[in-house]
Amino acid sequence: MNPTNILQNGQKLTQFVARQPIFDAQQNVFAYELLYRDSAHNAFPVGTSDEQATSRLFFNTLMMLGPDKLTAHHLAFINLSSATILENFPKLLVPQNCVLEIVERTNKIAEVTQHVKALKQEGYKFALDDYDGDDKWAPLLAHVDYIKIEMDDVIIKTNMRIKKIKRANPHAKIIVERIETHAQFHSLKQAGCDLFQGYFFARPEMITYKDVEPGKVIVFDLLRFTAKESLCFDEIQKQVARDVAITARVLKLANARSGSAKLTITSISQAVVYLGEDSIRQLVRVLALSELGADKPSELTKLALTRAQFIALLLGQNHAELVGQGYLVGLFSVMDAILDTDLEAIVKEFSLDESIAQALLNNEGILGQSLALIRAFELDEMDKIAVLMSAINSDLHIGHIFNYVLDALLYSDEIIEAIAE
């Protein structure tokens, strides 16, 4: 999730937007679905309907930040109500950058269909969200490019629905939402599903450490060294020097960070002198994470970076001494999915500090509460968020949290872009 602050009539307003990735069959990010999230206060004049307020705030956010920043240059799937389609809100968006989602609560199907047909002529693409097979959708089906369905409790039922929908609508791609496991993903892929949405990448198939590739052994060592309270640069330099790919990434990322100073960094030693110990420690962790997650969806690495930066920003206000540990907690919170093993084994393998270990395993202490907060935010558990905010810092309010998440999200996108091949 992410917000942006804009000025309107001299007042500072908080906008709330969520994004969820949509993957292709190769587990690459195909697009992001963008969803408006309301705040506690209505920012628009009395008399404006909730539907209009939501739509206008959402599009203000899009136009202020731009879809590229919200989606890291991927396609944007955007939820629209009946009224926003009938009021021609889609024309505020560039058709090449977006897919317009017709939500399940849509009414006035005949009128909406006519607007969809006209917008299609201008290059816009449409998705039908949460398609349930009801006959009322028949007029729209011929004009949508994507049909989204939710996972059923029984996987074979979903597979049968996919095949039935594809036979009747061969022009449309099928997207299945709420995928929970890799096994479900594999079964849906075999059934002909085109695109996938959910947390399946966070529920990996189990393997053992003996299967780790030789290059990843170096990465394990790097993570061990950076998890220590005192960083030994000689150890880091020796390990990095053993792997050309990691060396190249260290230099590339350091050069990206120093770009505004117009410096060219050509050695790890020079990078440390310029960035300092804390920054090189962070760089090694980020690069190690990207290497370990090389055969996983990039969203998993982004999730780790977003959590890490969020916790660092959150703790920076009242617990500055814990920022480094908090960043590590965020990174390690998805390491079970990246390494395909239990967190308990990872905590033991890396000999993590007790406070970090308890934060990861039991959500204990300020570090654990901070991790629990970002997880609750990802799941829209607002009651839990309120309790955790109060426990961490009584001065926190939801606007702070949304701003921290936005900053963390943009940070993770920048890091991924910088370390990409």
pLDDT in tens, 136-191: 999 999 999 999 999 998 899 999 999 999 999 999 999 999 887 778 888 999 99
For 244, phi and psi rounded to 5 degrees? -60, -40
Tokens 């962070």 map to which residue? 282
Report the C-alpha dihedral over residues 115, 111, 59, 20, rounded to 10 degrees.
Answer: -90
Strand partners, 176: 149, 196
What are the tokens at 138?
Answer: 């028949």
For 316, other C-beta atoms within 10 Å of its C-beta total: 13
The pLDDT of residue 112: 94
The pLDDT of residue 230: 73
Q: Determine which of 92-106, 216-230, 300-314 has the lowest per-residue pLDDT on average.
A: 216-230
Q: Determine which of 40-49, 53-62, 94-103, 132-141 has the lowest per-residue pLDDT on average.
A: 40-49
pLDDT of 208 > 50? The answer is no
Sequence-distant (6+) residues with CB within 8 A of 295 are none
For 386, phi and psi rounded to 5 degrees? -60, -45
pLDDT band at 72 (very low <50, low <70, confident <90, very high): confident
The overall average pLDDT reported for the chain is 77
The residue that leads in pLDDT, 278 or 377, is 377
For 260, phi and psi rounded to 5 degrees? -65, -20
The pLDDT of residue 145: 97
Q: Compute the distance between CA of residue 365 and CA of residue 356 in angstroms, rounded to an integer.
A: 9
Go through the chain and tell me how many residues it has: 421
Return the H-helix or E-strand segment holding 148: strand 146-150
Report yes or no: 136 and 118 within 8 Å, Cβ to Cβ: no
Q: Compute the distance between CA of residue 166 and CA of residue 173 in angstroms, rounded to an integer.
A: 8
The pLDDT of residue 296: 65
The residue that leads in pLDDT, 56 or 311, is 311
The residue that leads in pLDDT, 19 or 129, is 129
pLDDT of 47 > 60? The answer is no
The residue that leads in pLDDT, 82 or 241, is 82
Report yes or no: 378 and 336 within 8 Å, Cβ to Cβ: no
The pLDDT of residue 162: 96
pLDDT band at 99 (very low <50, low <70, confident <90, very high): very high
The pLDDT of residue 170: 95
Q: Compute the distance between CA of residue 118 and CA of residue 303 in angstroms, rounded to an integer.
A: 38
pLDDT of 65 > 90? The answer is no
Q: Determine which of 192-196, 219-223, 247-251, 413-417 has the lowest per-residue pLDDT on average.
A: 247-251
Mean pLDDT across the stretch 307-313?
92
pLDDT band at 53 (very low <50, low <70, confident <90, very high): very low
Q: Compute the distance between CA of residue 330 and CA of residue 415 in angstroms, rounded to an integer.
A: 15
The residue that leads in pLDDT, 262 or 117, is 117
Interval 188-202: pLDDT, tens: 999 999 999 986 654
- Percent of the chain's residues with pLDDT above 70: 66
Sequence-distant (6+) residues with CB within 8 A of 281 are 226, 231, 324
Tokens 């849509």 map to which residue? 106
- Find which of 30-39, 59-68, 336-345, 353-362 is predicted with most confidence, using mean pLDDT: 353-362
Q: Which of 224, 217, 169 has the alpha carbon at shortest distance from 192?
A: 169
Pairing of strands 75-80, 195-198: unpaired
